[in-house]
Structures are given as structure tokens and as C-alpha cells.
């Protein structure tokens, strides 16, 4: 008699294996990236509609820049969550990106000296 020594995997829901704890983080991050992309699209469309209103165009342009900066940070986090870069590289690239944004005046908080 042959027995299977493979441990059984408990199933959750409709016959699917349990989700890894990281999947919820990745799903939430994906939703956030989609929300930011949708906001970018909205701002780009709205900028065209307010042609001639310099104050509003400036405000929308500033909002667009903020969204683009946020996208850079989100994309870096996505690469880490997807396993494309390890934790050490993620931390280094995150610090570099933050420093570059601060030097360009895109992040208002100065870096803390440790």
C-alpha cells in the first residue's frame, strides 16, 4: 500500500488554498496605486478645462506633481513587495529617492540625522 506523505493544505472558502499574509498587503497596495493613477487622470483632464484660470491651473499642477512623486514611492514599494528588490535595496533606494525629492523641494520634511 502506497501512502502520500504530502501534508494536506486546508482550504479556505470555495476550495481555494489559504492566502499568504502578504497578499492582503499587495492587494491594498495595488488598490492604492490604481487610486493614485485615477487621480492623476482626473487632474490631467481638469487642467485642460480650467485654461485661463492661472491660480487653479497652478494648484492642479502642484497636485499633479504631488501625485507623480507619490507614484514614484508607490512603484518602489511595489517592486519590493513583488520581490524584485530585497529589503536592503528597498531601504537604500527609498532613502535616495526621498533625498532627491527633498533637494528638489518636493518633500517638505528635512531628513533626520541619526
User: What's the rounded Cα separation, in Å, for the pair 6 and 9?
Assistant: 9
pLDDT tens digits, 50-98: 999 999 999 999 999 999 999 999 999 999 999 999 999 999 999 999 9
- pLDDT-derived band at 29, boundaries 50, 70, 90: confident
pTM for the predicted model, two decimal places: 0.70
Q: Which residues contact 71 (CB under 8 A, 6 or more apart)?
A: 33, 36, 37, 40
Instruction: Determine the Cα–Cα distance for residues 107 and 93; give it in Å rounded to an integer.
Output: 16
User: pLDDT-derived band of residue 22, with 50, 70 and 90 as boundaries?
Assistant: low
What residues does each domain of the chain span?
23-103
Query: Are 59 and 28 contacting, i.e. CB atoms less than 8 angstroms apart?
Result: no
pLDDT at position 107: 86
CA within 13 Å, CB half, 109: 5
Percent of the chain with pLDDT over 70: 74
Amino acid at each position: 500500500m502506497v501512502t502520500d506523505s504530502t501534508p494536506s493544505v486546508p482550504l479556505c472558502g470555495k476550495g481555494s488554498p489559504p492566502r499568504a499574509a502578504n497578499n492582503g498587503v499587495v492587494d491594498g497596495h495595488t488598490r492604492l496605486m490604481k487610486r493614485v493613477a485615477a487621480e492623476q487622470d482626473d487632474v490631467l483632464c481638469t487642467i485642460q478645462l480650467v485654461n485661463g484660470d492661472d491660480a487653479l491651473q497652478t494648484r492642479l499642477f502642484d497636485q499633479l506633481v504631488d501625485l507623480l512623486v507619490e507614484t514614484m514611492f508607490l512603484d518602489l514599494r511595489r517592486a519590493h513587495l513583488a520581490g524584485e528588490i530585497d529589503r536592503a535595496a528597498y531601504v537604500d533606494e527609498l532613502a535616495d529617492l526621498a533625498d532627491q525629492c527633498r533637494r528638489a523641494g518636493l518633500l517638505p520634511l528635512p531628513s533626520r540625522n541619526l
